[in-house]
């Protein structure tokens, strides 16, 4: 694909208006949830843009979004490059609003062989779930700008032997030590997806406990990445500092994968 052939979206196109409306609704939901939870700090919004094109990321940047998430390296690597070009083109056109590149959050299952690629564009990896990943992440990371790592925790009550997509709670301390002692990596906190078929609130409560436990030894690792379109209120009620919202901002994803 010729990256230079991507047309920059018109500033006030209909999609921008749709995204503006949806984004505003999500921010209102977050505000209400924060108020109901009696919290003083508002969680950060990460807009998960998987399946949606680079043009939508540019629209989101124009609407003030700074953090975007992706779950597949293949898609994210290309998109990050496209967005960089769109931002450059946008700057060259001399618009009134200056744009900065977004911070890319990698939220999907990570394979060791993808670590090098992910480290090129991502500022934060939310899905570190096994020590065998650390060597490739450390090799890939630039010690001058450390890669933020969150430990993804499997919150299911019963974790199957072959679990993919989350470390068992008992594995968290060793993983935290491993990240902390790796040059180029910074332990930033914990992440979870609410388990399918279980209520989200008690699961997020367990995540908050794990976070508190981890902060005894690693006080700076205070990120709690939890909450998606379906369960953001439960995540806010249980201390999430970062919400990962896709659908509610961008609409239904175009195609199942
Ligand atoms: C897709 C995805 C999200 C966003 O989910 P929505 O239901 O679209 O809000 C959040 N976290 C992860 C890990 C995802 O893969």
Give me the DSSP letters along the chain.
--GGGPPPPPTT-HHHHHHHHHHHHHHHHHHHHHHHTT-SSPPEEEEE-TTS-HHHHHHHHHTT--EEEES-HHHHHHHHHHHHHHHHHHHHT--SS---PPEEEE-S---GGGHHHHHHHEEEEEEE--GGGHHHHHHHSBTTBPEEEEEEB---SS--TT--SSB-GGGHHHHHHHHHTSTTEEEEEEE--PPTTS-HHHHHHHHHHHHHHHHHH-TT--EEE---TTTHHHHHHTT-SEEEE-HHHH-S-SS--
pLDDT given for residue 132 in this prediction: 94
Give the domain range for residue 99: 12-249
Question: Does 39 fall in a domain?
Answer: yes
Residue 190 belongs to some domain of the structure: yes
Residue 55 within a domain: yes
pLDDT at site 225:
98
Say how many Å lie between the CA of residue 104 and the centre of ligand 1. 14
Q: Indicate which residue's Cα is closest to atom 4 of ligand 1.
A: 246
Whether residue 106 is contained in a domain is answered as: yes
pLDDT of residue 158: 81
Q: What local confidence, expressed as pLDDT, does residue 1 receive?
A: 43
**Whole-angstrom distance, CA of residue 28 vs CA of residue 24:** 6
Which of 48, 50, 152, 256 to mutate for ligand 1's pocket (most ligand atoms within 8 Å of CB)?
48
Question: Does residue 172 lie in a domain region?
Answer: yes
Q: Report if residue 3 sits inside a domain.
A: no
| Cα–ligand 1 centroid distance for 92 (angstroms) | 33
**pLDDT(4) > 60:** no
Q: How far is the CA of 184 from the centre of ligand 1 (A)?
A: 27
pLDDT confidence bin for 27, thresholds 50/70/90: very high
The angle, 0 to 180 degrees and rounded to 10, between the axes of the packed helices 54-62 and 14-36 is: 60
- Assess contact for 122 and 104: CB atoms under 8 A: yes
Over range 26-43, report the average pLDDT. Answer: 98
- State which of 26, 68, 228 you would mutate to test the pocket of ligand 1, scoring each by most atoms of that ligand within 8 A of its C-beta: 228
Number of domains in the chain: 1
Domain annotation covers residue 7 = no
CATH at residue 98: 3.20.20.10
Report the predicted TM-score, pTM, of the whole model to 2 decimal places. Answer: 0.94
Q: How high is the pLDDT of residue 8?
A: 58
Is 180 in contact with 218 (CB distance < 8 Å)?
Answer: yes
CB of residue 107 inside a 6 A radius of ligand 1: yes
**Best probe residue, ligand 1, of 244, 247, 249 (max atoms within 8 Å of C-beta):** 244
pLDDT tens-digit series, residues 77-133: 999 999 999 999 887 777 677 789 999 999 999 999 999 999 999 999 999 999 999
Q: Is residue 93 part of a domain?
A: yes
Q: Does residue 10 have a pLDDT over 80?
A: no
Q: What is the pLDDT of residue 6?
A: 52
The rounded mean pLDDT for the chain is 93
Q: What is the pLDDT of residues 161-199, one digit of tens each?
A: 766 689 999 999 999 999 999 999 999 999 999 999 899
């Amino acid at each position: 694909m010729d990256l230079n052939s991507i047309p920059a979206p018109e500033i006030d196109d209909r999609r921008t208006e749709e995204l503006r409306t949806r984004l505003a609704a999500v921010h209102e939901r977050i505000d209400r949830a924060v108020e109901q939870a009696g919290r003083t700090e508002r969680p950060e919004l990460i807009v998960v843009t998987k399946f949606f094109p680079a043009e939508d990321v540019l629209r989101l940047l124009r609407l003030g979004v700074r953090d975007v998430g992706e779950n597949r390296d293949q898609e994210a690597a290309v998109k990050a490059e496209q967005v960089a070009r769109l931002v450059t083109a946008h700057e060259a056109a001399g618009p009134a609003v200056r744009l900065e590149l977004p911070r890319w959050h990698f939220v999907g299952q990570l394979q060791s062989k993808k670590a090098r690629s992910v480290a090129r564009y991502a500022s934060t990896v939310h899905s570190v779930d096994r020590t065998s990943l650390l060597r490739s992440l450390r090799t890939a990371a630039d010690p001058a700008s450390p890669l933020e790592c969150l430990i993804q925790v499997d919150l299911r009550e019963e974790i199957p032997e072959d679990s993919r997509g989350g470390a068992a709670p008992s594995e968290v301390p060793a993983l935290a030590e491993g990240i902390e002692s790796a040059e180029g990596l910074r332990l930033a906190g914990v992440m979870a997806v609410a388990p399918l078929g279980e209520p989200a609130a008690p699961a997020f409560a367990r995540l908050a406990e794990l976070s508190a436990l981890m902060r005894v030894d690693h006080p700076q690792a205070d990120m709690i990445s939890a909450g998606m379109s379906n369960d953001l209120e439960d995540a806010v009620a249980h201390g999430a500092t970062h919400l990962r919202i896709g659908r509610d901002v961008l609409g239904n994803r175009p195609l199942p994968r």
